Chain A
Amino acid sequence: MPGQAEGAGGVGDREGRDAARSSDIETLRELIVGPTARRVEQIERRLEQPARVEDTARVLPDIIRESLREDADAAEEAARPLVEGAIRRSARKSPEALSDALFPVLGPAIRKSITHAIASMMQSLNQTLEHSFSARGLKWRFDAWRTGRPFAEVVLLNTLVYRVEQAFLIHRESGLLLRHVAMDESLGEDADVVSGMLTAVRDFARDAFDAEGSDEIESLRMGELELWVARGPNVLLALACRGKAPEALFARMQETVERIERRFGEELAAFEGDTAAFAGADDWLRALLESQRAGDEGGSPAKAVAAVAAVALALAAWMGYGWYWRGQWKDYVARVSAMPGVVVARASSGAPFELWGLRDPLADDPAGLLGRFGLDGKDVKLHWRPWQSLEPAFALRRARRLLQPPAGVEVTMRDGVLRLSGAARPDWIRRARMLAPALAGVRAVDDSALKAVDVRAELLARIRKRLTPPKGVELALAGPEGRYVLTARGEARSAWKAAAEAAVKAFPEVASYDDSRLIAVDEPARLLRLARKALRPPAGARLRVSRDLVLHVSGVASPAWKRKARERAAAVPYLAGYDDAGLHPPRHIPGDAEILAAAREMLKPPATVHLGVSQGVLTAQGFATAGWIRDARTRWRDIPGAKGWRDEALRDITPAWRALSRRVGARLVRYDIDSGQPKAGGERMLREVAEAVKQARRMRPDAVVRAVGLSQSRAERQKPRALAHARDACHRLEGLGVPAAACQPGFAPQSGSRRVSGVRFALLASGQAP
């Protein structure tokens, strides 16, 4: 085509033609390859531009996912160098960032790993110790040497007695059992319920103890059976072990968990309850079921351990014991060294405990302190040499011991000066003045405050204190020292006199006691003397004072003297009682006059009765009450000398009196309240009363009438009116011939429904109650 175009025209044309042709060609080319070229161009541009990154990013996850699906191992292998390199570079470049990122994972992992490592170590150490001393232990040592394995491992292999009986693979979130393998297949029946409950227990424990983050139950122990739990992000692996499984088992569990998480990650993520997908884990789980048996049970290694422990313990105890007692001894020696008056020269440091030193005899005995330190006198020897301590305290103690100061003397010490103060007997003072300056540790003696006591006055004071003489007794001490005469004079009871005589004997200084002028005031003889003087008994009376100080009067005396004697005896001091039961009146035949007088005195006849006597026979005439007559008829026999009683001429006034009394009592003089005067008929009533009273007074001159004004109520204000009425009645009776003295106005409140205003009357003998 270009050849065609060139051969067709000249230069100008050619140029035009060329241009036209090229345009055609362009068009043609455009038609033929245009879209492709643009696409290529687009692709080129895209390849050059960074935009391709977006495209790659879009497909990269698919690529990785696809390659993992097709051949996971190859893909992982391919990615490994990249990941490793990146991590390595990151670790080199900014280790902080990486460690920060990994810390939440690594921290707990490291902590847990260390804990388990320590636990493992302790376990193997314990076993090593247990078995080092047995014959079997020696055999294991040989095995270790022969096989080139560490001894601890040999021990571990030979001794652990445990059995992993079941393994549970549990879906962590739901607690559903994924797989279960057991040594004894019959155990699997309730495995799914157990796994659920285990999950619940873990949740419960976590909630109950508010555990943080990753802290969860790792083991549960039920007696022989122990449940170990290892966990991954999605699964829990629980092993039921009988016996004591080694800690290393836990590490293997953890490995298994990790392996399962890796292998079944996808299935776990999509878990919908179908457990068949995890059948592939059964072999791994079964590998965990294992048992380990100890060799035949020989002699217990515990015995060897116990023996060694016992020896060690005994050694420690013995050492501790010795150490303890040395400490006690050391404390004791230090304490003794600090004691005043004691100087410790030397002491042994341990058993046998001995001590040498100086001790003032006045110092406390250091042996007394042994008990306080738990030491026994038998285990300890104390060697003392006597000496005298010049310390002031000891000088003072020595002075006191030598001088024996009596009560009242104070001995003190200051700057080597012994000071004596107080009061003492002259002979003690003399002795103290001689002895005190010679005492060791005493530089000078000051006795300026020491006073000599008056021996006689002091003795008398002591006697007084002892005898406590009553008021009226005077004690006196006379005579030269050593031959004192004690005199008591005055008056005292005989009891005191006897007690004083006995008490004086307690004073050897008193050579003799004179109480001849001490009057025993209550001596019977003295009292009798006094009584005689006071009573002046008539010739027939006898007086006697008994030991119990009762004055007995007996014999014959007039009743008048008897009365007086009783009064007079009361005035005699110290008499404890008076007895005149044995005193009788003189035998005497009374004359008529005497009889009459006695009769009058004894019978007290009323004025209306006239008494007479003739030859000892009493006669009574006149008026008397029945009661008086009855009395007189018996009582006349008591009248000394009376021989008979005649009362025919005596009239019994009682019936008449009663009639009059009734008559008077039946009268009621009504009063008008307004006028204060008797109402109609009152005058007649009053006349009748007056007549009755006058008649009564003829029988009994002491008869009186009581006019009782009746008040309307108990109220106090009613009283004056009632009394006024009564007075008015009396006044009117006087007008009718009743003496004013024979009418007693009074008043009384009324009770009952019928109340009147008026005066009632009552006839009384004088002295008789109304």
Chain B
Amino acid sequence: MIRKKVCLLGAFGVGKTSLVRRFVSGIFSDKYLSTMGVKIDRKTVDADGREVGLMIWDIHGEEAFRKIPMSYLRGASGLMMVVDGTRPETLDVAAGIVRRVDDELGLAAPRVWLANKRDLADDWALPADAWAKLAGDAPRFETSALSGEHVDEAFLALARAMLA
């Protein structure tokens, strides 16, 4: 079996942990997130007939006074960038994280982009242009951790991208 390290990145409160909880059933309690800043779960996906074991590093959301420790990103084969579709400012935070990843780690791992909280249709405020520009050629998904909409697809897309 192929194993891949995947990191979930994004601003604080965009719903990364909820996405992971939707996708896997983990063994570690969420308290590691607040203490150590990371929680790790595993999920095996079937990508076109190949089994891929995803080690999902759910990294504490970036805040003004709590930067993501770049050491957690070392060896990652894929990045899942998450923004909050109801809070356009989280796009800037995500852009900042990507910049740091490129500058400090030079990590050329495949990425997928998730705009989460699609279920809050009334509050949806995702600026389409900025969103498209931010993601570039990477696959983008509008997901809902609440309904599970597009969550599996996003992880599968990342698995495929990593195998390519």
A and B: bona fide binding partners:
yes
- Indicate whether B65 reaches chain A with its CB closer than 8 angstroms: no
Chain A residue contacts of B32, Cβ below 8 A: 197
Q: Which of A241-249, A268-276, A428-436 contacts B (4 or more CB under 8 A)?
A: A268-276
Chain A interface residue count, Cβ-Cβ cutoff 8 angstroms: 23
Chain B residue contacts of A192, Cβ below 8 A: 3, 42, 53, 55
Identity of the chain A residue whose Cβ is nearest the Cβ of B36 in the assembled complex? A204
Annotate A257-297 by CB proximity to B: 1 below 8 A, 0 otherwise.
Answer: 00000000000000011111000000000000000000000
- Indicate whether A207 reaches chain B with its CB closer than 8 angstroms: yes
Q: Are B38 and A176 touching (Cβ within 8 A)?
A: no
Chain B residue contacts of A176, Cβ below 8 A: 3-5, 55, 75
Q: How far in angstroms is the closest Cβ of chain A from B9?
A: 15
Q: Would you list which residues of chain B between 1 and 22 have a CB under 8 Å from chain A?
A: 1-5
Chain B residue contacts of A207, Cβ below 8 A: 69, 71
- Indicate whether B77 reaches chain A with its CB closer than 8 angstroms: yes
Q: How far is the CA of A177 from the CA of B3 in the complex (A)?
A: 8
- Indicate whether B30 reaches chain A with its CB closer than 8 angstroms: no
Chain A residue contacts of B5, Cβ below 8 A: 174-176, 196
Chain A residue contacts of B1, Cβ below 8 A: 275-276
Answer whether A193 and B2 are a contact pair too, CB < 8 Å, given A200-B57, A204-B69.
Answer: no
Q: How far is the CA of A206 from the CA of B74 in the complex (A)?
A: 14
Q: Would you list which residues of chain A between 177 and 220 have a CB under 8 Å from chain B?
A: 177, 190, 192-193, 196-197, 200-201, 203-204, 206-207
Q: How far in angstroms is the closest Cβ of chain B from A199?
A: 8
Chain A residue contacts of B119, Cβ below 8 A: none
Name the one of B26, B55, B162 contacting A175, with C-beta atoms under 8 angstroms: B55
Chain A residue contacts of B69, Cβ below 8 A: 203-204, 207
- Indicate whether A77 reaches chain B with its CB closer than 8 angstroms: no
Q: Are A193 and B41 touching (Cβ within 8 A)?
A: yes
- Indicate whether A760 reaches chain B with its CB closer than 8 angstroms: no
Q: Would you list which residues of chain B between 45 and 74 have a CB under 8 Å from chain A?
A: 52-53, 55, 57, 69, 71-72, 74
- Indicate whether A173 reaches chain B with its CB closer than 8 angstroms: yes
Q: Are B3 and A203 touching (Cβ within 8 A)?
A: no
Q: Are B42 and A174 touching (Cβ within 8 A)?
A: no
- Indicate whether B40 reaches chain A with its CB closer than 8 angstroms: yes
Q: Are B40 and A193 touching (Cβ within 8 A)?
A: yes
Chain B residue contacts of A175, Cβ below 8 A: 5, 40, 55, 75
Q: How far is the CA of A206 from the CA of B72 in the complex (A)?
A: 11
Chain B residue contacts of A204, Cβ below 8 A: 36-38, 69
Chain B residue contacts of A200, Cβ below 8 A: 36, 38, 40, 57, 72
- Indicate whether A171 reaches chain B with its CB closer than 8 angstroms: yes
Identity of the chain A residue whose Cβ is nearest the Cβ of B35 in the assembled complex? A204
Chain B residue contacts of A173, Cβ below 8 A: 74-75
Q: Are B72 and A203 touching (Cβ within 8 A)?
A: yes
Name the one of A190, A193, A203 contacting B71, with C-beta atoms under 8 angstroms: A203
- Indicate whether B76 reaches chain A with its CB closer than 8 angstroms: yes
Q: How far is the CA of A196 from the CA of B52 in the complex (A)?
A: 16
Identity of the chain A residue whose Cβ is nearest the Cβ of B74 in the assembled complex? A173
Q: Are A174 and B77 touching (Cβ within 8 A)?
A: yes
Identity of the chain A residue whose Cβ is nearest the Cβ of B2 in the assembled complex? A273
Identity of the chain A residue whose Cβ is nearest the Cβ of B40 in the assembled complex? A196
**Which of A174, A177, A272, A276 has most B Cβ within 10 Å?**
A174
Answer whether A273 and B4 are a contact pair too, CB < 8 Å, given A173-B74, A175-B75, A176-B55.
Answer: yes
Q: Are A196 and B55 touching (Cβ within 8 A)?
A: yes
Q: Are A171 and B71 touching (Cβ within 8 A)?
A: no
Q: Are B41 and A201 touching (Cβ within 8 A)?
A: no
Name the one of B2, B38, B74 contacting A272, with C-beta atoms under 8 angstroms: B2
Answer whether A273 and B3 are a contact pair too, CB < 8 Å, given A174-B75, A192-B53.
Answer: yes
**Which of A192, A200, A206, A207 has most B Cβ within 10 Å?**
A200
Identity of the chain A residue whose Cβ is nearest the Cβ of B77 in the assembled complex? A273
Offer 8 A-B interface pairs, CB within 8 angstroms, sorted by A: A172-B75, A176-B4, A193-B27, A193-B28, A201-B36, A203-B71, A206-B71, A274-B3
Q: Told that A174-B74, A192-B3, A274-B2 touch, could you supply 16 new A-B pairs with CB distance under 8 A?
A: A174-B5, A174-B75, A174-B76, A175-B5, A175-B75, A176-B3, A190-B42, A193-B40, A196-B40, A196-B42, A197-B32, A200-B36, A200-B57, A200-B72, A272-B77, A273-B77
Residues of A within 8 A of B (CB): 171-177, 190, 192-193, 196-197, 200-201, 203-204, 206-207, 272-276
- Chain A to chain B: the 7 pairs with minimum beta-carbon distance, closest first: A174-B75, A173-B75, A196-B40, A203-B71, A174-B5, A273-B2, A176-B3
